[in-house]
Each structure stands twice: as structure tokens, then as C-alpha cells.
Structure 1
């Protein structure tokens, strides 16, 4: 059976008991902002005397420590226009407990049979949370600064490496022009092109938005154009064509692929066309299928006679080592239609025809 509260004293006792069960600091104010009730956690948190609190004006508590402009704004302006306000943040240096950041939640209680107004005010101390957030922001800011410094240093290093490679390539080319041995001259020219292939990657990295990836079509096209312009003679014009799927590759893979292309294109320029041939073509293709890829360098040259042993020069050794590093496999097809060398990562079915 329901038993109503017998008198106002019992109601006040129940109300105070409810207030004391609230974990956060809590106040009940009248319309003049005088304290009608305060929770036990309010006294414990702000270290104020209950006898000096009850019935006192909120702004006069603790020698005026609650006379905070932001709190006045909440109570005298916002709460008069609205019946509730949540998450109103106040930062203040309290005399007994130091600097604190509080979230204030306020409710205005209106009664059906009375013109009186009661204001409920709850405090949530978020000082520790804000301190952690500030530390995280400072850490993030420092990390961003370090990353920017790293980016600047990496770009400066790449710039210097690219310059060094260009100097080395120039020295090799000058030396090639000064030697009397045709064989030595050819070896120096090939070394020059090997250095240029690495320098081309560095140049792309330096001009790309990211430091770790480069655009494959532009990279292979410019690399092959450089090879053709410096190595193809007037006595046998050879077109070097590139067909590649759009996409980006990481710089380490780009270096390996660039060196492979350099070796295979140089080999085709040197050996594929021993006799003058109209429409001589070297075709470079790069295809992808998910994480799989296939690089092919083919020509429409003389090819190799049946039973002719494969070449075992420096270029071949370099290509085999790079193919192994890329965890790929190499396949060579050479017949009367020319030679095709494919480097394949995993299983890949080519959709682009070889040079013809």
C-alpha cells in the first residue's frame, strides 16, 4: 500500500537524501540563487563549510570563489531563457583546490501551484580529461612538427642524391667519349644509363606529392624516352614504346623495375637489330591485377637462333638478381618474330600483345 509523505519536514529529508546520493557535486538554488541544498560531494570537492553554505548566495560562497562571470552568464541569462542547459564549460582557479575545469548542467524547475522557481545545478569535474586532451594535442603538434622536419630532410636528401647521380652519370658519359676502346666506351655508356634510371626515380620522388610512391606511367615513359634518346643511333632508328596501366608504385619497387627496364631495353638496342630494319620497335608494357603485376620488354628484331645459348653478361646478372628481390619470375621467348622478356609477380595472364 502506498504511503504519502506525511509532512514537509519528511519531504525535505527525502530530498536531501536524494541530493546526497548524487556522485557529482550538486546544488539546489532558489530564484535568487541562494543555496537550498547541497550534496555531500559538493562540500567534499570544493572544501566549503555546510553551515556557511546553506542559505547563502551562491556568489558569496568561499569568499566569493563562485562569483565567476561564466557562471553568472549561465544562471542569469541562459537559464532564464531556457529551462535546461547541459555541458556549459567553466574554467576557474578555486582557492582551496586550484585550477579546475567544470562542466555545468542546469535545470529550472517550475511548479504548478506556486510561482517559485528552483534551479538544479550539477558539476562534472573534467580537469583530468582536459589535461590529457591537452597533452595529446601537444604530442600531436610535436609529432606533426617532427614529421614536417622529416619531410624537409628527406626532400633535401633526395635532392642531394639526385644531384650526385647526375654528376656521376655525366662523368661516366664524359669518360665514354674520351676512351679509345669501343668496348670500354659501350660499357661506360651502359653504366651511364644504369645511373640515370635510378636518378629518374629520385627525380620523380622529388617532384611527387608523396615520398613513398610514384606514378608508374610517367616514370616508365620518361625513363624509356631517356634511354632511346641517348642510346639509339641514327644508322638504325628504333622506337621505344611504353604501354602501362595507370597507378602508383612504391619507390623501392620503382628502382628495381627501372633498373630491369634499363637493362632489357639496352640489351634490345644493342642486339635485337644487327641489320637495318624498318619500323624497329621495342615495346615496354606494365600490367597489374590486384597485387599481381607483369612487366614485359619485347622487340620485333632478329631473335635468337634455335639452340643459341642465353647471354650471361652483367646485365643478365643484374636482371636476375632484381627479379629475385621482387619475388617474381622471368620468362624469355625468342624466335623469328623477335624477343620477349617477361617479369611476372605471382600468376598473371597478359592482355597486351608483344612487339610485332
Structure 2
């Protein structure tokens, strides 16, 4: 093999190796012992939206606007060659000039070479921004779920304590308690159904679904958006009104009719300034029994 054949072979091997490196989607750098970039793959240029001229020949710790200029990272990378160590998953949070805020995991180790005496360092970067955001959202959701479960158990205990037992059979107590519990369950489901605050009209229709459409008339009041913590109390109020109508009012009589409406009033909010006002909803249920005047 002459010198020309050897050069051609080496060049072919170099092109093949570079092709393998460029196939990797993860950003990759090769540094010399001093931390200067010897080469980078296509994934690095595309991820950080930089050119070869902005990268090769420069120190890792001066790339971009100095996002990698971290004393701890410098120390870890500097220990790779003399101590044959590695950096695995070192987290860097930075605002990169071309791609904005990102969270990157940096892993580095000595580049393997046949003579086992390489002084080059291979650096891999993993963008975990979306993963970290997703994990944070899951943590928030889990904390909110725990809080809601604690509140729900407190509500159930309160329902049990407030449901009257005097003069009632066990079955009557059970039916009353389960009716209230079902109302709370539906209210919680509605509160968790979406980000938008439910309208009072939705709760009204939900509370009246146990009756036929010919048994009630809803005179819609103003649109009132309820916060999640208002949904359960308002649902229980409507449940009690409808339950009373079934027991003692128009729903208990053939041909009876229930009119349900609501209005709002303003009252000073003690937690605000003297000019602050809060809208309060007042549901009103009017019953008309056959052969009687509206009451």
C-alpha cells in the first residue's frame, strides 16, 4: 500500500466516522484537553442554531453568551482526562441567545481511542426542557389532587354530621346522606372538568335533572361564574331546595310546578378596600301546587 492509498483509506474512514456522528440527533461536541471545540455534529448546530465558525476552535465555556461558563462544570470536565472520570447528567438551566430558556443535561467522557491514550473529550447534550415542565405540572396536579381529596373527605365528614338522625329511620338517613354525597361528587366533577369556571346555570340544570322538564321552569338570572370552591356549597344549596320540593312542595304533587330563578346583590368585601364589591348569588325557588296560589 502506497502513501496515496493510505491517505485515501484514512480519508474514507474519517468521512464514515463523521457520517455516523452526524446521524445522531443529540447535540455532540469533541473537545481537546484545554476545552476547545475540535468538531461538532449536525445535531449541535441545528439544536443551538449556530454555525461552524461560531463553534469550532472556541472554548466550550465561551460559546453562545457564556451559558456553559460554570465553575462546577469546568472542574468536572477538567477532571475527565487526568482521573479517567465522567460527567453524567449535569443539569444546566440557561437562556440561550438563539433558542431561549432551556434545561440541558450535559454528559462528558474521554473519547475512546485504539491507543487508549486519547486526550479528547466527548460532550453530549440532552434537551429536557419539556420533560422538566411536564414533571413540574404533574407535581402541581398531584399536590392539588391531594388537597382536593383532603377537602372532599372533610366535606363527607361534615355531611354525615349535618344529616339529621332524629325521627328518621336508617334508610331515610342513608337516602338523605347519599343524595348529598352524590351532589358533592357531581359538583367536584364539574369543578375539575376544565379550566373555565362553571356558570350557575349549569348547576341549576344539573340539580333539576331528577325532575321532568314539565315539572319546572327556569327563569335565568344574570350569568354568574363560580370559582371551584363555590361549586360544592352552591350545589348543596340547590340540592336542599330541590329535595324540599320533592318532600313537601310542588314536586310531591301531581301537576305541581317549580319556578327557579336567581339574582345578584353587591356587598362590601372585608378583604378588599372600601371601594371593593363582591357579587353574591341568591337562588330563589317558587312552587305552585295545583289549586293553590303561588307561594
Which one has the largest radius of gyration? 1
